[in-house]
Structures are given as C-alpha cells and as structure tokens.
Structure 1
Amino acid sequence: MNDSDAAVEPVSVKPGLTEDVIAIIVGILLLAMCFTAALVMGKPKVEGDQVTAITSPLKGWVDKPGGWKANPVESFVGTAEKPKTTWPGILGAVLILGVFMTAMAPVMRPFAKPGAFIGGFLILFALAGLSYLLAGQATIKNYNLEYALWALLVGLIIGNTIGKSAFGAMGEAAMRTELYIKTGLVLLGAEVLFSRLMELGMPGIMIAWVVTPIVLISTFWFGQRVLKMKSASLNMTISADMSVCGVSAAIATAAACNAKKEELSVAIGLSLCFTAAMMVVMPPLIEVMGLDQVVGGAWIGGTIDATGAVAVAGGLLGETALEVAATVKMIQNILIGVVAFGVAAYWTTRVETEGGEAPKIGLGEIWKRFPKFVLGFIAASIIASVLYASSDQGEMLVGATTSVTKGLRGWLFCLAFVCIGIDLNFRQLAHQFHGGKPLVLYVCGQTLNLILTLAMAYVAFKIVFPEAAGG
C-alpha cells in the first residue's frame, strides 16, 4: 500500500458502538439462536428408555470444507466411498455470520455501509474458505499445517501484492480483525463452564498477574539502561505490547504515555510479526518438549500477544489446551486498564514530557481500557453453566448449542487471521525499526517472557494448584 490508498473511499467516522460491545451483542445473539433452535426443534437421541443427547437442527447448516486428496471437489461432497456433503454447511455459516454482522454495520465504529460491509465480508469468507480447503488436503494435513497458518499465508500474499486497497470501500468496511476474534471468544465462553473457569482462575492469576508486571518493568528498564533507546514512550509501548496482550495493550499504553503514532505502528508491527510466528511454532514445540495440554496451554496463553492467536494455537494442541490458554489470556487482558493507569501515573510523576498536557489518570481510565468483551465471555460461561447444571436436558441443550457455535467460532477465527495477514505489509514495516533496537528489545523481552511464563505455568499447575490440571 502507498499514498494512493488514501483515494479509496474511507469509512465514515460517525459515532458508533465499539468492537467489544458489538462482539458481545452478536455473540450472545448467536448463542441464543442456537440454543432456541435446539430447544424448539432439537432431535432427541434415544437409547433404550432414555434420551442421551439432543441434535441441533442447525448442525448440518454450519460446516467447513472437508478433507481431500487429489480433487478439491471432494472437500465439498466427499468421495464415492465416503460421501460427505459440506457445502450446505458452508453456505449456512456464511449466511448466519453475514446476516448478523451486516445487521450491526450501521452502528459499528467506524461506521460502515451495509452494502460495502457484506461485499467485503463475502470476499474475506471466500479467502477463509480457501484456507480451510488448503488445510484439508491429505498430505498437508499429515504435517499438521492447520487452517490458521493458511489463513495467515493467504492474507500475507494479498497484503504484500495487491494490498487491501484493491478491495476499495468493501475492504475498509469488513476488515475488522478484533471484531471477529472477540465475537469468537464470546462464543467460546459457552464452552468453558464457570466452575472450570473458577478452577483455572487462581493458577491463571499466578501466571498472568505475576509474570506480566515483571516482564513489563524489566523490558522497559532494559530498553532505557542497556539499549539506551532515545524514546521512552516507544520503549514503554513495545514493552506493554509484548508483555500484556499485543495491539490492545499497545494502543492503551501509547495513549497513557503520549507515544507518537509512528511509535505505536512500530509496536503493532512487531507484535503482528511475532504473533504470527509464535502461533505456528509453539504448538509443535510444546509437543516436542513433551509438555501436557494444561502447562502448554498456559504457556501459550501467557506469551502469545493476540487473544485470537492464543485461542487458535491452543486449539491446535487440543480442547484442554484451548480452555486453559483462553482463560489465562482473559485474566491477562484484565491488566490492560491497570497497566494504562500505572503508566499514566508514572509518566505524570516521573517522566519529563515535552509540551502537551500530562495524561489524566483515574478509575475511569481503567474502565475505559478494560477489554469489555471479557464480560461477554464470562456471561456466556455463567449462563451455559447454570443451564448445564439445571438438569440432564439442560446439559444436552448446552451440548447441542456448542456443537454449532464451535463451527461458527472456527470461521470467525479464520476470518480474523486472513485480516491479520492482509494488514501485515512487510514493506511498510521494514523502515520503522529505527536501527534495530525495537526488534532487539522485543526479542529479549519475549525471551524473558517465555522463560518466566513456562516456569510459572509449571509451578502453578503442577505444584501449587495440581487439582486444576485435572480438568
């Protein structure tokens, strides 16, 4: 992309709902739709005199491309020996997600015209479908090259060739990485029962709330005293980005320490590059190291920057790893507001600023920076937990609901990683690394983060709270 991109008709900056709020609304509505369908039209599975399960009528209408060997058509209709029709489920997924997301387009921030949004959404969905298709090829599948990697590669190819500008206003309207990730995580809440969430809470706090401040402060000190970085605000923004949760923490911290726009871009660029690499590398590394899913999931949750990447990487290890990784990351996300508050206080009282007003601090700052989609995740978990514990039918209805929402969640994550790839333009990022010090800072800080988080994950789940590792 270049300066000519500015000619593309931009989305309007009219007031609207934040991505966190929209993610909660869409996520809860999707869960309610799937639950109602199972309750009203669910088909009971009877064994003897007892109902053992309920099948959702939407189950066949949410699917992804299946496996294939030589002919890609097999991914949609199966083979003569094993017929499996997936194309109705693919159409159903794009219809459900497309309708719900497009309905929210007029109230999104920034505002998006519904026509432009649905056009861009369909393009992104086609690219996500291509990613699933590539991941389903038999040889590729044997090497465990999952859909997230292909979604990222597909996006990278587009982002570093024709660029996002090729999609015009449609691309601008529908390219909403955080929205897709956060909506998927609200759906995930229904799969993580609250009793389990509480069980993972204390070890999660040990990992996220002990290691994160240590890494943040150490990395900032290292940048100022050892690397002698000229910009303290760049140093702090990168430190928060790497130690807390990537882009969201970078934005919050940049505002708290009056970082320049180009400094924020450097931090985000580094975050995207390392998130993509760690998402792909960590799951097989954990398997090679012989770590179990609980410790491995906690390691992923505490170190990979982006919440969506954490969920995807955890999912590559297994359902238990996904559950632990997502929970640890949610707990870590809560620190965004606290970190922004602390940085603002530090900058106000200790750091000399050149011109402008010192950042304002207060409890309102914590709420402003708090990742509110976490509330949707917790609400979904509580509601599902209450229903699950209420009766055998409630347990079966929750199972029928999540059997559909898992598929929708997968599509949302796939859409998000296509967007990440498209946004990651290496030519734009190359000139931003000011003599290499930001890169050195990130590598050293992330190395410390990896070591401390792994050690704390082992201590938390194997020594202090071993019962939490039992699932």
Structure 2
Amino acid sequence: MSTVNTYAKKKALQNEDWWAAWLGLLIFTLGLGPFFGMDVLGWVTKASVWIEPAKAFAPVTKGVGISGFASLILTYLFILVLIGVASKFIGANMKKFFIGFTFIFWATVFCIMLGNIAYIGATPDKTANYGIAWSLGLGEMGYIIAMVIGLIIGNFFLKFADYLKEAAKPELFIKIGIVVLGGSIALKSLDAFGLATTVIIRGICAVVEAYLIYWPVVYLISRKFFKFTPEWAAPLASGISICGVSAAIATGSAIRARPVIPIILSAVIIVFVAVELLLLPWLAQALLFKDPMVAGAWMGLAVKSDGGAIAAGAITDSLIRGRALSELGVNWEEGWILMVATTTKVFIDIFIGVWAFILAVIWSVFPIDKNSAVAQTGEKGKVNPAEIWNRFPKFIIGFVLTFVILFLVGVFSPDDVSKLKPGVSEANALRTFFFGMCFFSIGLVTNVRKLWDEGMGRIVAVYGIALFGFILWVGLFISWLFYHGITPPTV
C-alpha cells in the first residue's frame, strides 16, 4: 500500500494540473493577507491603461514605497519561482526554462503595455480621463498582440521557438489564472446579490436556458456537418457556448483531449472575441437603446471572454446611456447595464466547473471516443471510480475552493467582504500576467501550417456559423425574454 501511495504522490508531483491547483491556491491564500491585517501581495504590479508610459505599471497597493518598475521586477521573480518549482518537478531542463521564461514574461509585459495604450484600451466612457477624443476600446488587445507575436516567433524563427518551448506552458498558465479567478467571481456574486433580486434570478435562468440550447447545437453541427471527432467537438462546443478559452481548456482537460486541441481553439476564440468587441456594442446601441438591460445581458451571453464581455458591457453602458439621454431625454444611472453583463458572465463562469465535471464523468462511463476510459477498457458502465478521479481536471478543485471560501465568508460575515477585496485585486493582477503568458505561449507553440492540416479552416467555419447563425440571435431573444421592460434607475 505504501508503494502505491508513493507512486500516486510522485504522479501528482509530475502532474501539471495538480500544480495549477496548488499554485493558484497559494496565490489565493497569500491574497487573503489583508483579511488578517497583512498586505502580503501589495507589491504586485498592476497593468493600467496609459497615456504616459511611466503609468503603465504600478504596485496594486498605493503607498508601498516602490516604483512601477521595481514592482514589475518583484512580480517577475515571484512568478519565476512559482513556475520554476513546478517545472522542476514536471521534468523541465532548468537552464532552458529560465532563459525561455524570462523572455516570455518580458515579451508578455511589452504586449500588455502595448495593448493598454489609451487609444487602444480605453473604453469610450473613459477617453476624457486621458485627454483623448477617441479609442478603439479593445481592452483585451494585449492578449491578442501577445498571441500574434508568439505566432510570428513560432512560425518564422523555428530554432528560437523550440528553445523557448521548455518554458511555454499555456495550459499551466491559464489554469492557474482560472483558479485565481474563482475568488474574483465570488466577490462579484456577493456584490450582485446585494443588488436587484430580479436581475439575479433572471440572469441565472437566462444562462441555463441559453447554454442548454447552445452546447448541443454546436456539438451537433461540429459532428454531423463538419465531421469533427468528439475529442474536437466537445471543447469546440464549450469554447463557443460557455466561456471561450477557459471553457475550451477545462473541457479538453476533462475529456483528456490532446493539448493541441484547446490551444488551437483558443487562438480562434480570441480573434472572434475581438470581432465581437468591435461590432456588438454599437449594434446594441442601434437596436436596444430603449431596452438597456436586454443589451447588458446580451453582451454577457454573446462575448466569449470575461474581459471581453465586461469591456463590451462597459462600452454598451456608455453608448446606450448617451443615446437615451439625447433621444429619449432619460438619464439612466451609470453601471446597471454593465452590472447585468457582469452578473450574466459570472454565472457562465460558474457553469464552467459544473460542465467540466459532467463531461469528465460522461467520458469515463460511456464509449464516446478513443480517449474515453470505456474505449480503453471495453467495459461499459464498469469504469473504476478511480478512473473518473484521474480524469477529473484538478485545477477545477482549486477554482471551486477559491469561490466557495470567499462566498461563504461573504454570506456569513458580510461586514468582512471589504477586507477581502484588496487581496483579490492583488491576486487578479497576477492573473493578468498568467493569461498574457498563456496567449503568448499559444502563439509560440502553434504551427499554422499544421493547424490548417488539423482543420483550422473548419474550426473557423463552425465558429462563424454558430456565432453569427444562431448564438447571437438566440442570446438576444433570451435576453429580451428575461429583461424586456426592466430599466435602470434614473438620475
């Protein structure tokens, strides 16, 4: 028995999924410092929209007595140690890892900084704060730039890319970020529960109804008309239906898809998010300026990333309030449209963990494809429970724990919620870098020629047909069904 336990522990120490859970929980725990009167992560650097380069990065906590550049150095060293320890146990070449990680981190910093230039990253309602007349309002652009630069290196500088790949760990980066995200979602949920009960109840109903329609339809289109295997179709359906990159990766892990699959899907998803950000807020202004809460819910249901959905909600909030004031003479209170978009997105994020668990069980018990436990054992309905546990994505445990812990604190001790927010902000600042390094790494390990052979063109086709053919319009109808006639308070 001791030999079995030793083997299990060794496997866990070599498992990237476990390391994502442990490191995410470590960051979350350190972020609880302010709750106990200790600001452990106040030195972490936060990326901000900027006009003056010196203001692009600064410590999350004001008054810690260090410059933005010093906080960047400390953030680099902190993440280097975390990922370095995990990489050592997983079996990386540490010399290559150190050099590769250093390049990836600072390249990501450059991309995030570039994407946060006010002319690119400022939402339309914030342009006046920066003294500018216009902005593209693309808050996620730093991630896209990171992926593009990674793609250039990965496809045109092949020897250099191969050297860097020892540190390019897109799944580890994004999974750590998802674990940390749990605490942020918990606080958003607590804030939302303090607002209109009607909005919350309708938001839950809208999310459940939308995704019980979205997922099976996308899966059917992928399988029947584009002939994708279940290994491809399930992450594709989750990525398009639930929450973009995070859902695609969670689903891929749950069903044991090859790592290349969620990576390919992530590249397609983020491009479509950029397209949605460019189109949907202005379409919402044109169609829904008399139905503002419908517009907010639509952004939450339609835009497939957290930052993208919230940015779209903020833009829509500003555009619709401006038009309503000029054409209807109604001055709606700021933030309610954004709140509906954010609340809808929060419930969608929670749905990721639930759906990943459901798919992990299904893929273990039924002969879905060659990667399923049943296909490997030939014993339908007789899969060992240990197999389900082995297949279950461990980082989801971290995600659930961070969410539940903060949510329960907020429920049973509401007065303490304010003490939690600074630490969650510090952990989220780190999450920005993990997400950015994920997208850079996605580009770095992506060979476009091979991807096209794997079916990139069909993926784009499925995404385009699903998104513009029915997801946008089903989401609009469901938003209208649950929010029609509800308006924000007036100023």
The alignment's TM-score, normalised by the length of structure 2, stands at 0.67
For 1:62, the equivalent position in structure 2 comes to: 45
For 2:354, the equivalent position in structure 1 comes to: 334
Contact 2:297 2:479 in 1 (8 A): yes
Distance in 1, matches of 2:461 and 2:379, equals 28
1:415 aligns with 2:470: no
Contact 1:336 1:369 in 2 (8 A): no
Distance in 2, matches of 1:356 and 1:378, equals 30
Contact 2:300 2:310 in 1 (8 A): no
The partner residue of 2:466 within 428, 442, 445 is 445
Contact 2:215 2:238 in 1 (8 A): yes
Shift of 1:86: 1.6
For 1:152, the equivalent position in structure 2 comes to: 144
The partner residue of 1:249 within 248, 251, 262 is 251
Shift of 1:331: 0.6
For 1:93, the equivalent position in structure 2 comes to: 75
Distance in 1, matches of 2:92 and 2:41, equals 29
1:112 aligns with 2:112: no
Distance in 1, matches of 2:311 and 2:164, equals 29
Distance in 1, matches of 2:170 and 2:465, equals 27
1:185 aligns with 2:184: no
Distance in 1, matches of 2:253 and 2:40, equals 42
Distance in 2, matches of 1:121 and 1:147, equals 25
| Letter paired with 1:417 | F
State the Cα deviation string for residues 353-386 of structure 1 (Å, max 9, x = none): xx98758555846555544433323322333345
Distance in 2, matches of 1:313 and 1:74, equals 23
Shift of 1:180: 2.0
Shift of 1:26: 1.4
Contact 2:112 2:146 in 1 (8 A): no
| Letter paired with 1:249 | T
Distance in 2, matches of 1:222 and 1:367, equals 30
Distance in 1, matches of 2:445 and 2:201, equals 36
Greater Cα offset, 198-207 or 118-127: 198-207
Counterparts in 2 of 1:65 and 1:250: CA distance versus 1, 3 Å? closer
Matched residue count: 412
Greater Cα offset, 162-171 or 399-408: 162-171
Distance in 1, matches of 2:266 and 2:228, equals 23
Distance in 2, matches of 1:438 and 1:359, equals 33
Shift of 1:228: 7.5
Segments of 5+ residues of structure 2 without an aligned counterpart are 1-9, 59-65, 122-133, 315-337, 370-374
For 2:416, the equivalent position in structure 1 comes to: 394
| Letter paired with 1:64 | A
* Secondary structure class of the residue paired with 2:46: coil
State the Cα deviation string for residues 437-462 of structure 1 (Å, max 9, x = none): 55544432333233323433454566
Contact 1:311 1:325 in 2 (8 A): yes
Distance in 2, matches of 1:127 and 1:228, equals 37
1:30 aligns with 2:27: yes
Distance in 2, matches of 1:234 and 1:57, equals 42
For 2:451, the equivalent position in structure 1 comes to: 429
Segments of 5+ residues of structure 1 without an aligned counterpart are 1-12, 42-55, 78-83, 256-260, 350-354
* Secondary structure class of the residue paired with 1:334: helix
The partner residue of 2:84 within 99, 102, 125 is 102
Shift of 1:335: 1.8
Distance in 2, matches of 1:451 and 1:91, equals 46
Greater Cα offset, 324-333 or 88-97: 324-333
| Letter paired with 2:275 | V
Report matched runs for 1:66-215 at 5 Å: 67-68=50-51, 72=53, 75=56, 85-108=67-90, 111-141=91-121, 142-144=134-136, 146=138, 148-163=140-155, 165-167=158-160, 171-191=164-184, 192-193=186-187, 195=190, 206-207=205-206, 209-215=208-214
Counterparts in 2 of 1:296 and 1:18: CA distance versus 1, 3 Å? farther
* Secondary structure class of the residue paired with 1:59: coil
Identity of aligned residues (%): 18
Contact 2:18 2:394 in 1 (8 A): yes
Shift of 1:405: 1.8
Greater Cα offset, 291-300 or 267-276: 291-300
| Letter paired with 1:153 | I
Distance in 2, matches of 1:134 and 1:92, equals 21
Shift of 1:328: 0.7
| Letter paired with 2:266 | L
Contact 2:214 2:471 in 1 (8 A): yes
Shift of 1:416: 1.9
Contact 2:32 2:423 in 1 (8 A): yes
Contact 1:190 1:381 in 2 (8 A): yes
The alignment's TM-score, normalised by the length of structure 1, stands at 0.69
* Secondary structure class of the residue paired with 1:63: strand
For 2:265, the equivalent position in structure 1 comes to: 271
Shift of 1:130: 0.6
State the Cα deviation string for residues 194-214 of structure 1 (Å, max 9, x = none): 646888986666455544453
Shift of 1:185: 2.6
Shift of 1:87: 1.0
Contact 1:270 1:442 in 2 (8 A): no
* Secondary structure class of the residue paired with 1:117: helix
Counterparts in 2 of 1:343 and 1:94: CA distance versus 1, 3 Å? closer
Shift of 1:126: 0.6
